[in-house]
Amino acid sequence: MRVGEKAALRVRVSEKDVHYAGGLVNGAYVLGLFGDIGTEVSIRYDGDEGLLAAYNAVELKSPVKAGDFLEVTGWISRAGRTSRTIQLEAHRYIRVTGTPFESSADHLAEPELVARAEMVCVVRQEQQRCED
Reported pTM: 0.90
Could you give the 3-state DSSP secondary structure of residue 112? strand
Name which residue leads in pLDDT, 81 or 69: 69
CATH architecture of the domain with residue range 7-127? Roll (3.10)
Provide the mean pLDDT of the chain: 92
Q: What is the number of alpha carbons within 13 Å of residue 99 lying toward its C-beta? A: 0
Could you give the 3-state DSSP secondary structure of residue 29? helix
Task: Output the pLDDT for position 92.
Answer: 98
Q: In the predicted model, is pLDDT for residue 131 greater than 70?
A: no
Number of neighbouring beta carbons within 10 Å of residue 34: 26
pLDDT (average), residues 61-71 = 96
